[in-house]
Structure 1
Amino acid sequence: MKQFSRRNFLAIAAAAAARPGFARTMNEDIGERLSRSLETGKVSGLHALLVSQGGNTVFEYYGRGEDQIWGRPLGMVVFAPDVLHDLRSVSKSVVGLAYGIALAAGKVPAPEAKLYEQFPEYADLAGQAGRDRITLHHVLSMTLGLEWDELTIPYGDLRNSENAMEAAPDRFRFILERPIVGEPGAKWTYCGGATALLGHLIARGTGEPLLNYCRRVLFDPMGFGPAEWTTGHDGEPHTASGLRLLPRDLLKVGQLVQAGGKWNGREIVPSDWVKRVTTPVVTIDPNRSYGYHWYMGDGQPPRQQHWIGGIGWGGQRLYVIPGLDLVVAINCGNYGKPGQEQSRVSTTVLSDVVLPSFVS
């Protein structure tokens, strides 16, 4: 990232450190490590990095690079506190919180409710054997037992289930008619269609477009700036991956979860729902589990820490580390790189750049 000199980078870190109550030494240490990682190429495509501890922002960095809006190129962008960024699939975790707010208001069905009963317009599907066993719990935890593949087929290929859903004349029929390939609840299958169903239930139950509802009950009460939710050819939002927020507001989402759903002492998301979404339901792999649209893991040695978070394509990450009262928000532009490379960059930022200032 040669467009940022070492001197300019450290000036950004020092400016953040100079704010009242911030640890200047901590900021300078994070800044030094990040500068070295950028110069050596260990970290590439980083657009923004924000860190908070105890509810206070302790580090803030903005870079520049090629960016997109849900696959549409924007060219070279200079990032700053007032520049929106795609969340990609971190959008799913925001939807998970919004569902809990709507549930508490009696606007959406409970997790125990049967899925197909919520979609009477697809009665022909509801009558098929085995579909009556699928509940909203399985939608929230992505354990529906339906055929869906977003992970082995590249995005942009119509064989990829999310792309096929976006191209379908009726996205909800497309999701609900997927063949049953397993017992509901038995296995996690990454599924943007699940999030699309949740977003539709929120919009229908509240009588508001998804973005408007999130703005009213979640974003505005927390003082968010502008927000966008990209839409498909049918006008439906890209619920699973289309949310765009300011990096500072992404950080606030993590702070909200860290605080058990409260913001400035006011309950925004019911605390019991925050606990539920961040409680493991299903194991993904030896290092990660999944709750209700939120991931959980225990990191990698030597700085192994339990974390809760959201993960999005291109290197978007939101980490909540309860044991350190720490929140880390990362935005990257590594959309065209393999998933392993995207994960390597975000893991390096967390483990090698940020965590050394908080754990030995």
Structure 2
Amino acid sequence: MPTDMEAALAGIVRAGRAPGLHGVVVTRGEDLVFEHYGEGPDVAWSGPLGTVTFGPDTLHDLRSVTKSVVALLYGLALARGHVPDPKAPLYAYFPEYRDLAGRTGLTVGHALTMTLGLEWDESVPYTSTANSEIAMETAPDRYRYVLERPIVEDPGTTWRYCGGASALVGGLIARGTGVPLEEFARTALFEPLGITAFEWARGDDGVAAAASGLRLTPRDLARIGRHVLESGSPWVSRMLTPYVTIGEGLDYGYQWYLGPDWVGGFGNGGQRLYLRPDLGLVVVVTAGRYNLPDDHATSATVLDEVVLPAFAPGR
């Protein structure tokens, strides 16, 4: 199986069909069944890194896969009684914004499912403050920036991609636990899984970017994926429940994408965490195709033409 994947990957790389590929990690059960690292230019959330030779210990931006990790952290905080149930009213936990009247219908669950109904636009490149997430990260108060956005749709009805929703979830964790988001992540999730190295970028206000700021090694992201597959916790079941349909054959749970037989997290540039519960399979792909319209083409090609054929029935 590893030989098959190695040959298939070499073929698509040679044909120029996996541009910007930085890393691939495939695990099944406790076994690391395939691993590949490349070399090329990369950037961190905060700036260029130059040409990087990637390896098992190289941290990589997860970009919006961070959101899926934050949703998992929310469940850990909820189990400890630190944060409200998703059915709770959202604005009640941000009492300093009482001046934002008429928003009592918004719940924590609306933030977790990105159905807040707020005006939000991330279609503009992430190099511009015209992008709502970048505007939030450069604002003096990220929570006010999000919470004062105009309501343009009935909450709970329409999915709108919104890094601000993730920021609110991260804020609830930090407020409820009494420690910064990255510190709670370290003690509640990373250290129990044996993850010792990570970075978490901060916005101009000094707050960890819950929407996109986490950096991990591909192996460690795979450990988190394995935890999701095997924990069996009520929260994971709730987190991976389809709450809103966002496309044909594609639903959304609590900050996780849900397909017919897979769940996953996607990040700008081609970052992907892909789980196949039926196969016990965890796949991590990292890439450097940031801000390109086809940024996920490389990770999709690796998944569809290298990894999944190796686990086809009868193999």
Aligned pair partner of 2:234 in 260, 263, 272: 272
8 Å CA contact 1:92, 1:293 repeated in 2 = yes
Question: TM (normalized to structure 1)?
Answer: 0.85
Give the aligned partner of residue 30 of structure 1.
Answer: 5
Give the aligned partner of residue 293 of structure 1.
Answer: 255
For 1:186 and 1:347, locate their aligned partners in 2 and report how far apart those are by CA, in whole Å: 29
**1:314 and 2:273 are equivalent in the alignment:** no
More helix by share: 1
- Superposed displacement of residue 55, structure 1: 2.9
Amino acid at match of 2:245: T
Give the aligned partner of residue 331 of structure 1.
Answer: 286
Give the aligned partner of residue 94 of structure 2.
Answer: 119
What do the CA deviations read for 1:255-296 (whole angstroms, capped 9, x no partner)? Answer: 1111135xxxxxxxxx00000111110001113110001111
1:160-171 equivalences under 5 Å are 160-171=131-142
Note closer, same or farther for the CA distance 1:329–1:163 as it changes in structure 2 (3 Å cut).
Answer: same
**1:255 and 2:208 are equivalent in the alignment:** no
For 1:251 and 1:120, locate their aligned partners in 2 and report how far apart those are by CA, in whole Å: 37
Give the aligned partner of residue 283 of structure 1.
Answer: 245
8 Å CA contact 1:50, 1:57 repeated in 2 = yes
Query: Relative contact order: is structure 1 or structure 2 higher (C-alpha 8 Å, sep ≥ 6)?
Result: 2
Give the aligned partner of residue 214 of structure 2.
Answer: 243
8 Å CA contact 2:270, 2:297 repeated in 1 = no
Residue segments in structure 1 that go unaligned for 5+ positions in a row = 1-25, 262-270, 299-305
Partner SS for 2:87 = coil
For 1:225 and 1:121, locate their aligned partners in 2 and report how far apart those are by CA, in whole Å: 35
Give the aligned partner of residue 10 of structure 1.
Answer: none
For 2:76 and 2:46, locate their aligned partners in 1 and report how far apart those are by CA, in whole Å: 30
8 Å CA contact 1:172, 1:197 repeated in 2 = yes
Identity over aligned residues, as a percent?
55
For 1:315 and 1:142, locate their aligned partners in 2 and report how far apart those are by CA, in whole Å: 21
Partner SS for 1:57 = strand
Amino acid at match of 2:49: L
Note closer, same or farther for the CA distance 1:336–1:139 as it changes in structure 2 (3 Å cut).
Answer: closer
1:150-229 equivalences under 5 Å are 150=122, 152-229=123-200
- Superposed displacement of residue 66, structure 1: 0.7
Residue segments in structure 2 that go unaligned for 5+ positions in a row = none
8 Å CA contact 1:260, 1:275 repeated in 2 = no
For 1:343 and 1:81, locate their aligned partners in 2 and report how far apart those are by CA, in whole Å: 22
Give the aligned partner of residue 106 of structure 1.
Answer: 81
1:30-69 equivalences under 5 Å are 30-69=5-44
For 1:145 and 1:336, locate their aligned partners in 2 and report how far apart those are by CA, in whole Å: 25
- Superposed displacement of residue 315, structure 1: 0.4
For 1:51 and 1:245, locate their aligned partners in 2 and report how far apart those are by CA, in whole Å: 16
Q: Where do 4+ consecutive residues of structure 1 move more than 4 Å?
A: none
For 1:41 and 1:65, locate their aligned partners in 2 and report how far apart those are by CA, in whole Å: 14
Which of the two has higher C-alpha Rg? Answer: 1
What do the CA deviations read for 1:110-132 (whole angstroms, capped 9, x no partner)? Answer: 1011011111100010x23xx11
Amino acid at match of 2:214: L
Give the aligned partner of residue 77 of structure 1.
Answer: 52
Partner SS for 2:161 = coil
Give the aligned partner of residue 6 of structure 1.
Answer: none
How many residues are treated as equivalent by the alignment? 313
What do the CA deviations read for 1:300-324 (whole angstroms, capped 9, x no partner)? Answer: xxxxxx1100000000000000111
**1:93 and 2:68 are equivalent in the alignment:** yes
8 Å CA contact 1:225, 1:249 repeated in 2 = no
Partner SS for 1:324 = coil
- Superposed displacement of residue 53, structure 1: 1.2
For 2:66 and 2:3, locate their aligned partners in 1 and report how far apart those are by CA, in whole Å: 31
Give the aligned partner of residue 346 of structure 1.
Answer: 299
For 2:176 and 2:35, locate their aligned partners in 1 and report how far apart those are by CA, in whole Å: 38
For 1:71 and 1:346, locate their aligned partners in 2 and report how far apart those are by CA, in whole Å: 23
- Superposed displacement of residue 167, structure 1: 2.0
For 1:247 and 1:295, locate their aligned partners in 2 and report how far apart those are by CA, in whole Å: 19
8 Å CA contact 1:225, 1:246 repeated in 2 = no
Aligned pair partner of 1:135 in 107, 114, 130: 107
For 1:214 and 1:188, locate their aligned partners in 2 and report how far apart those are by CA, in whole Å: 27
